[in-house]
Amino acid sequence: MSNPSDKIIVITAPSGAGKTSIVRFLLARFQQQLDFSISCATRRPRTNEKDGVDYYFISAEHFQQKISENQFAEWEMVYEGKYYGTLRSELTRIWADKKVPLLDIDVKGGLRVKENYPQSLCLFIQSSSLDELKKRLEARGTETAASLQTRLDKASLERSCSHQFDYIIINDQLNKACEEVARLVAAYLA
């Protein structure tokens, strides 16, 4: 691998487009080269989530302090009142380990990374249609009617930003999408 010290890979998608599965696949396929960038978040941990593994769970006050100290490479209020952000120190930690950070972040955050780190590889995962996305979210069973509509509206807005990313990957078949992403990542890491 060429010098990985300034490389960053971003996977972004409207919610429910299969982003997390693709991130897990990449971490397994490129174990030696990639490391998951652990974000800060102010929401509560879900069952099975561990502090310092899935996220650094911190208070909103602590998060705002870090914003004022310019500690974030990017941050967003992804859902109302809930902050998420990538610490600069997290990128440095992974680079120091001679690996490339893999970021699983929302669309606005992805655009921010592209702006601040133009050398990054920013991939947009898109489900085949908004109807398909609606089916996936319904199948996941985590949404109320109102929150489902909020997510669909957000997804529709986010899809309109897709052309600002380096590549758009259509995820209508997970295996195919994973292999396509793996090819792009391998070429970027080479």
Sort strands 100-104 and 34-36 into parallel, antiparallel or unpaired: parallel
Sort strands 55-57 and 39-41 into parallel, antiparallel or unpaired: parallel
Smallest separation (angstroms) from ligand 5GP to the CB of 78: 4
Nearer to ligand 5GP, 35 or 74 (CB): 74
Binding string, 45-74, against ligand 5GP, x = CB under 6 A?
A: -----------------------------x
- Judged by CB under 6 A, the residue of 91, 109, 127, 188 near ligand 5GP is 109
Q: Which H helix or E strand runs over 74?
A: strand 72-79
Cβ–Cβ < 8 Å for 171, 17: yes
Sort strands 100-104 and 9-12 into parallel, antiparallel or unpaired: parallel
* Tokens linked to 6: 């300034």
Q: Is 85 a binder of ligand 5GP (CB under 6 A)? A: yes
Q: Is 84 a binder of ligand 5GP (CB under 6 A)? A: yes
Residues making contact with ligand 5GP (CB under 6 A)? 15, 39, 43, 74, 76, 78, 84-86, 104-106, 109
